[in-house]
Amino acid sequence: MSKVTHIKKGLKINLQGKPERIFHQLPLAEKVAVKPTDFVGLKPKLSVKEGDTVLAGDALFYDKYNPDIIFTSPVSGTVELINRGERRKILEVVVKTENDTIEYKKFNIPEINRNNRDAIKKSLLESGLWPCIIQRPYACIANPQDTPKAIFISTFDTAPLAPDYTFLISEYKSEFLKGVEVLNQLTDGTTHINIFQETRANNPFQAAKNTQINYFSGKHPAGNVGVQIHHLDPINKGDIVWTVKPQDVVLIGRFFEKSIFDARKIITLSGNVKKPYYFKTILGTSISSMLNNQITSKKEQRIISGNVLTGTQVNETGYVSFYDTQISVIDEGNYPEFLGWINPGFNKFSFYRSFFSWLQPDREFKIDTNYHGGERPFVFTGQYERVLPMNIYPIHLLKSILVNDIDKMEQLGIFEVAEEDFALCEFICPSKIEIQSIIRQGLDTIKKEFS
Amino acid sequence: MKIIKNLIDKTKPQFEKGGKYEKWLPVYESFETFFFVPKKVTSTGAHIRDAIDMKRSMILVVVSLLPALLFGMWNVGELYYMSIGETTSILESFWQGFLQVLPLIVVSYGVGLGLEFVFVYIRGHEINEGFLVTGMLIPLIVPVDIPLWMLAVATAFSVLIGKEAFGGTGMNIVNPALLTRAFLFFAYPAKMSGNTVWIKDIGQNPQLVDGFTGETILGQKVNMVTEAYSGFVNNKLSMLDMFIGNYAGSVGETSTIAILIGAAILLYTGIASYRIMISVFAGGYLMGLLLNAVAPEGNVLLSTPALEHLLIGGFAFGAVFMATDPVTASQTNRGKWIYGFLIGVFAILIRTVNPAYPEGMMLAILFMNVFAPLIDHYIVQANIKARLRRAKINMIQSDSENN
C-alpha cells in the first residue's frame, strides 16, 4: 500500500549555491571531532583523556544518565584535545589521525532477526551508532529500553540547499537497504520509508523490503520527518516513534555488513563557495578539510553545519556536527541598512509579497544573517499556519510554552513537534520571535515532567 | 545618509550603558531604527530571516490606506465647495480638502506617537509600530469638522486606556482607532452625528447655499428619505455613485472603490486576512437580504437593498481596515470566518433596528473584538478534543491487539 500525501503549505527558499551533482573524494582529515553539544540534553562523561590512542569504534564519552549510550571515535589516532567551554562543559573531543589510514575495532555481529532484538540493540550501543536513532517526542536520542510504535525514515530533504539523497544514497544503496533491515527488527510496528513523489522513478529507496513506502510532495517542510509522521500516524501521548536520517541508516547497514564502525559519509558544501560538490569524507571531519580555499568572498562569512534554518554556527577551526549532511556558507549581515523598511526590495527574499522581489519568483536569492528588524510581541496571526502543515495552533502552543502551562502544551500537541518543524515559522515571523528556542524550551520542560 | 550615520555614531555612546542618557536608550533606538535597519545578526535558531519586519508591514497598511485618504481629501473639498455654491477643478477641491484633513492627521499622530514615546521611556522597550496605522486610521473615521482638541483627548484616551494599560501593541483587546471613535461618539455625540458635522464650517458658514444639507446617507435614511442624495435633494445617488463615494461621511469611509484598492494591496501582500474581509461582507449581505424579506411597509432602513448596505456608511472601511486588525480579531483561521460573519450580521442589525446608532459597524466590530477570544477558545478546544479522541481510539486499538 502506498499513497501520496500532498503537503500544500510551506515555503521554498531558493538560495544561491546549490550543490552540483559531483562526487569529490577528500583525503582523510588531519583532525576529526565528536561534539557532545550535537546531542540534545546530553550530559557527557569522558572515557578517554588527552593523549590516549584510540581505534575507530573506541568510546570517547558516554551519557551520564544512561551509560549504555556511548559515543565512539570515527577514526583511529590520538585524542589530541578536549575542548571545554563555560563551566568546563565539554564542547569537542578531537582525535588526530595518523598516516592517512584508519584502524578499526572489530565487533561481533548478531544475526539479524526479530528474536535477536536485544543483541542488535547491544551492538548498536557498543559501536556508538545508537545516537543515530532519534525518538519522538522530544527529538532526542532514543532510549534503548523502548520498543517504538513505528520507525520513520525520511529519504528527502526540502530545506534550503539540501543535498539530493536520491543521488547521494545511490553510492551506498546496499548498505542503506541493510540498515533498513536492521532497523526493522527493532519495532513490532511498521517501518516507514518516505519518498519524494518527484523522485519516484528510479529511486534507490523503493527496494527496501518489509516496509511501508509512502510518497510525499510539496514544499519545505514536506521533507521533515515530523511533518510526515503527523500525516501518516500522528504521535499521541505515551507513543514513542523513532526516526533515522538516511546517511545514518547507511552507517548502521555498513556496520552490520563489515563488523566495523566505518564512518565514511558524504557531506555537501553549499552557498558562497567555489566548488559546491558532494564531498566523500568522514563523520565529524574538520571544517578546514572541506573548506580548503573554497571561500573567495571578501565579505565576512558564516559557516553553518547543517542547513540555514536549523543548523549550528561553526567556525573554520570547527567540525561538522554528528547528524549533518551539509555545510552552508552565507554572508554575515552585520551592516545597518539606511531606511531599509521603505526600500522597494527587488533583491530581498520575502514570504510576503511586500518587496518587489515577487516579480521574479524563480530567481535564486542570496540571504544574509541580518535580522531585518527588531523583536516585537506577537501581532500578526494566521501567518505561521501558512508554513506549518500540521493540525496545530502554533501561536497558542507557543504562548502555552511561554507561560509554562504543561497541561496546555500537552493538549495543543507538543508531543508531535520538534523545533525544526517550526523553523519556517521563525523565518517568516514579522515580529522576529525566536520560535525554535521556545519550542525546545517547551520540549525540555515536558521531558523533565514525564521522566 | 552619511551625515545621519556619523551623527548616530557620535551620539550613541552617550545613550549606551554607562552613558549620560542611559535611560533614554530605547527612545534613542526607536529613532535610530527608523533611519537604519539595525545590523543585528541571527545568533540562535534560523540563520536567515525574512526581509519583512513590523515597520514594513505597518507601512504597507498605511500605503493601502492612501487611496481612501486621497479620495477622502478630494471629497471633503468638493463637498465644501458644493456647500458654498462654487464649482472648482479636481485639484482645487483636493487642495481645499488637504488643508482641512491635514490638521486631523497631525493631531492624531502628534498625540498618539508622543504618548507612545512616553511609554517607550517608561517601559524601556523599543517603540512598537502599531500606532503608525492607528494614527492614520483615526483621521479617516471622524467627521472633518471635529474640533481638534476633542480628537486629541479621544486619541489620548484610546492609547492610554485602550492600549498601553494592557501592555501595548499586541496585547490590546479592542481596536484602538475604533475606541477613539467610540469615545468621541459617546462623549461628544453632537459633534459626531447630525447634519452639521460632515462638512467643514457648515454650521456657521454665512455663504451656505440654500437647500444644501450635509447629512450622510444613513442619516437621510433615519429621516425616512427613500432615495439617497448628496448635498441637494435632487442630486440623487445611483448605486454606482455610492460605489464611487462623493457624498458626506467620515473622511475616508465614503469611497468603496478606494477602499477596495486598499483591500487588494492588503490581500496581495498577505498582510490582512481574506477570511475576515470576505466573511464580513457575506454576513452583512445575508443579513441585509434577511431584513429585506421581513421589512414592514415603509421602513426605509430595513428595506434598504442588501448591496446598498455594503456601500454606505462605514461598512466597507470597517470590513477592510478595522475588522482585519490581527491583534483584536480572532486568531484562528476558522475563528476568523465566524468573527467576520458575525461582524457583518451585527453591523447591519444595529444599523437598521436601532436608528439611534446608524453607524452599526463601529459597535459591531468593538463588540466582536471582545468576543474574539471566546470564539478562539471554542475553536482551540475542538482541536484539543480531537487530539484526545485520537489518543483514545489508539489506546483501545492497541489494547485489543494485545488481547
* Residue predicted with more confidence, A102 or B221: A102
Nine-digit cell string for A242: 523513532
Give the Cβ contact number of residue A310 at 10 Å.
Answer: 21
Q: What mean pLDDT do residues A130-141 have?
A: 94
Give the Cβ contact number of residue B227 at 10 Å.
Answer: 11
Preceding amide of A221 cis, omega within 30:
yes
Contact A382 B383 (CB under 8 A): no
pLDDT at B401 over 70: no
pLDDT tens-digit map of A421-445: 999 999 999 999 999 999 999 999 9
Under 8 Å between Cβ of A419 and A443: yes
- Picking from A328, A413, A427, the nearest residue to B49 by CB comes out as A427
What are the angstrom distances between the C-alpha of A12 and each of A338, A390, A419, B235? 28, 17, 18, 55
Q: Where are the domains of chain A?
A: 384-449
Under 8 Å between Cβ of B270 and B57: no
What are the angstrom distances between the C-alpha of A91 and each of A44, A48, A83, A159? 10, 14, 5, 26
pLDDT at B31 over 80: no
Contact B126 A374 (CB under 8 A): yes
CA distance B380 to B385: 9
Nine-digit cell string for B326: 490581527
Chain A residues whose beta carbon lies within 8 Å of the beta carbon of residue B384: 411-412
B264-268, long-range: CB < 8 A, 24+ apart: B265/B60, B265/B63, B265/B64, B266/B60, B266/B61, B266/B64, B266/B320, B266/B324, B268/A353
Burial class of residue A209 in the structure, from the number of CB atoms within 10 Å of its CB (0-12 exposed, 13-18 middle, 19+ buried): exposed
B383 interface with A at CB cutoff 8 Å: yes
B 93-152: CB under 8 A from A: 126, 128-130
Distance from CA of A51 to the nearest CA of B (A): 34
For residue A169, the one-letter residue type is: I
Contact A308 B333 (CB under 8 A): no
Provide the pLDDT for residue B86. 85
pLDDT at A190 over 70: yes
Nine-digit cell string for B386: 480531537
Chain A residues whose beta carbon lies within 8 Å of the beta carbon of residue B1: 338
Contact A377 B270 (CB under 8 A): no
B397 interface with A at CB cutoff 8 Å: no
Under 8 Å between Cβ of A254 and A263: no
CA distance A191 to A133: 13
Under 8 Å between Cβ of A192 and A212: yes
Rounded (10°) angle between helices A246-258 and A117-127: 100
Residue B83: CA atoms inside 13 Å, Cβ hemisphere, count?
25
Contact A353 B39 (CB under 8 A): no
Residues B124-143: b if buried by 16+ CB within 10 A, e if exposed: ebbbbbbbbbbbbbbbbbbb
- Picking from B48, B54, B388, the nearest residue to A431 by CB comes out as B54
pLDDT tens-digit map of B201-247: 777 777 788 888 888 888 888 888 888 888 888 888 888 999 998 88
Q: What mean pLDDT do residues A125-134 have?
A: 95
Chain B residues whose beta carbon lies within 8 Å of the beta carbon of residue A377: 128, 167-171
Contact A372 B326 (CB under 8 A): no
Question: Mutate which of B1, B4, B42 to test chain A, going by most A C-beta atoms within 10 A?
Answer: B42
Give the Cβ contact number of residue A110 at 10 Å.
Answer: 17
Rounded (10°) angle between helices B54-83 and B90-123: 140
Q: Which residue of B has its CA nearest to A189?
A: B398
Provide the pLDDT for residue B157. 95
Contact B37 A308 (CB under 8 A): no
B 332-351: CB under 8 A from A: 332-333, 336
Torsions phi, psi for A282 (to 5 deg)? -135, 155
B3 interface with A at CB cutoff 8 Å: no
Contact A376 B44 (CB under 8 A): no
Preceding amide of A137 cis, omega within 30:
yes
**Model confidence at B360, in pLDDT bands (50, 70, 90)?**
confident
pLDDT at A391 over 60: yes
- Picking from B39, B327, B394, the nearest residue to A334 by CB comes out as B39
Contact B1 A435 (CB under 8 A): no
**Model confidence at A158, in pLDDT bands (50, 70, 90)?**
very high
CA distance B163 to B327: 11
Distance from CA of A137 to the nearest CA of B (A): 14
- pLDDT above 70 covers a percentage of chain B that reads 97
- Picking from A313, A338, A383, the nearest residue to B35 by CB comes out as A338
Helix (DSSP H) and strand (DSSP E) numbers for chain A: 10, 21
**Model confidence at A2, in pLDDT bands (50, 70, 90)?**
low
Contact A379 B130 (CB under 8 A): yes
Q: Which residue of B has its CA nearest to A310?
A: B46
DSSP-assigned states of every residue in B299-364? -TTTTS-HHHHHHSTTHHHIIIIITT-TTTS-SSHHHHHHHHHHHHHHHHHHHHH-TT---HHHHH
Residue A51: CA atoms inside 13 Å, Cβ hemisphere, count?
0
